[in-house]
Amino acid sequence: MSTTQENSPQRETMGFQAEVSKLLHLMIHSLYSNPEIFLRELVSNASDAADKLRFEALSQPELLADDPELGIWLDVDSDAGTITLRDNGIGMSRDEVVHNLGTIARSGTAEFLGSLSGDEKKDSQLIGQFGVGFYSAFVVADRVTLESRRAGLSAGEGVRWESEGTGEFTVEAAELAQRGTRITLHLRDSAREFADAWRLRGIINKYAEHIALPVHLRQPAEDKEGAAEAGAYEVINQARALWTCPRSEIKDDEYQAFYKHIAHDFEDALSWSHNKVEGKLEYTSLLYVPGRAPFDLYQRDGVRGLKLYVQRVFIRDDAEQFLPLYLRFIKGVVDSNDLPLNVSRELLQSSEIIDSMKSALTRRSLDMLAKLADDGEAYAKFWAAFGQVLKEGVGEDFANKDKVAKLLRFASSSHGEGAATVALADYVARFREGQDTIYYLTADNYTTARQSPHLEIFRKKGVEVLLLTDRIDEWMMSHLTEFDGRKLQHIGKGEVDLAKIAVAEGESAEPELSEAQSQQAETVVARLQQVLGERVKSVRITNRLSESPTCLVLDAFDPGFQMRQLMEAAGQKLPEVKPILEINPTHRLIDRLASESDEARFADLAQVLLDQAALAEGAQLEDPAAYVQRVQRLLQGL
């Protein structure tokens, strides 16, 4: 950040951090399709400043003593084209102003900027979530002036910050009688519609009705409603903490408005759960399931968690201790009567009260998702956004593994075109006569899975197979070995025995091999084993193929291709695992191998069949050039 001294020794001109300049350019020129959102973000920031002051006043009550009634005040000057928003919250020192308004210090800045797509609606939803909502002021203003004095500092230690939202801002000392922050927006000509008190009242009612802080709006001189004396302030929101109200008194649209306030979201939540717990522990929770994923969902060390209040006093904005990591998408508020007001991060990490609340809130969240699952369309939207994250719970939350398993959704060989719509309970309900196992297959994508040779015998028997294509799936299934008393089996690992399941209607039973066929197959197996040598663990005859000549199989407990990719991406090198090559003894290519007397051609055929079996699994060939040369030699010999 560059600095230039101007006339006064206390006045400095500084350059924005490069990321801020890029962000401002995006917002001013292309970002917000809904410019009124600037007021929501500024009011939200003011509310946070009041919460932080309440928290600091727990240990320093003198910070509140001279002005204990916290609030937000709005003034509009239609002639000058300005909006002024003032709060008497925690305020900022000079250093804090420079740091908070000149840089983006939060981790993940590059990911955030990279996630901006140019789609105005989508990008505008990210700004508040990332915590840089202040800059939305420049969407409607061509100049912003901020004056602030931190609680506990003297009147002479105030600071004035000003910028036109280009590459620079100025900072200078200011004499300020009150603590808190005052922001003046000098509106662009295209945004003069907002220099209207009634317009602002409508925005506050839309976005900030239920923040637990009164918003005062000075009434215009031409007040026609008679709601308050012209020129006086009037409180225009309910200023009550929504979660403290009885559920019977709260309308759905009020729940949705509160969600949008705490989550900085445009879209409605898919579901919510509002509960008051009394007894051994006393606390209130209001949890929400969002309708879309934030840009940093897969950053497991990112900022997340519930808003924590203790006896209605704000404590933390990101209390991650109340929900497991795989439920990090849940938004909401928890307000405890049992935690001390000076609760520390250390206490949050090691408290029996926290553990008990976490257990209960986790169950409450999973029950909320189970209820949401009754709405197929809404749950499909949830699953598309958060399904991969929820899968982490199978391996991370043993106590609730069964609950999580019931919420999982899969594609399958017989339902949908790639859509993950099949629940394990639905799969079990469609068991064939004689079936006692849930069968599944992992692959890199749906097309590879759908065309896998491993499915051939299952199609013949009319047995449904779950198709798992997320990178986390094989890891997840290593922890999910049974469901509702039924074993789960990967059809590409170990032996598959479908003898108890009858052949599907319209299909004929697999004929028994003749003695001559068996002898021929055994001979081919021996020759293949000798030629392929160290490339395979073994070669064997299979009955799982009806159309393909070969397939690759792993031992039951060997890590598959997905697991290997996942572990290598995490920097862990797994020991080499050699596949088993299974051959279809009735396939014409196996007959061709049996009749090949030229050992060189047999070797080429054997290697090509092995490589083709690997390609069918979606694997990468170690030596593609050698594969191409073998195919060319075989074609030339036709």
Per-residue pLDDT tens for 247-270? 998 999 889 988 988 887 878 999
Tell me 193's DSSP state: G
Per-residue pLDDT tens for 162-183? 998 887 889 999 999 999 999 9
Q: Pairing state of beta strands 271-277 and 141-149? A: unpaired
Polymer length of the chain:
638
Show the low-confidence residues of the chain (pLDDT under 50).
5-7, 31, 105-109, 120-121, 124, 128, 224, 226-227
d(CA 263, CA 269) in angstroms, rounded, equals: 10
Query: Strand 482-483's sheet: what is its strand order?
Result: 411-412, 466-468, 437-442, 486-490, 482-483
CB 554 within 8 A of CB 561: no
pLDDT value of residue 312: 77
Our CA angle for 570, 573, 576, nearest 5°, is 140
Neighbouring residues of 398: CB distance < 8 A, sequence distance ≥ 6: none
DSSP 316-342: EEEEGGGS-GGGTT-EEEEEESSS-TT
- Closest listed residue to residue 334, CA positions, set 264, 287, 278: 287
pLDDT value of residue 625: 92
- Helix/strand number for the chain, H first, E second: 23, 23
CB 286 within 8 A of CB 272: yes
Per-residue pLDDT tens for 432-442? 988 999 999 99
pLDDT value of residue 107: 41
| Tokens describing residue 357 | 């609340």
Count of Cβ atoms closer than 10 Å to residue 442 Cβ:
28
pLDDT value of residue 406: 97
Sorted by where each starts, the structural domains of the chain and their CATH numbers stand as 3-240 (3.30.565.10), 247-372 (3.30.230.80), 409-490 (3.40.50.11260), 515-636 (1.20.120.790)
Per-residue pLDDT tens for 288-346? 999 988 777 777 666 688 988 887 777 887 888 999 999 999 999 999 988 877 677 66
Taking CA atoms, 425 is separated from 10, 99, 327, 409, 490, in Å, by 70, 53, 22, 10, 18
Whole-number percent of the chain with pLDDT over 70 = 86
pLDDT value of residue 337: 87
- Closest listed residue to residue 39, CA positions, set 47, 31, 51: 47
State the pTM of this model.
0.74
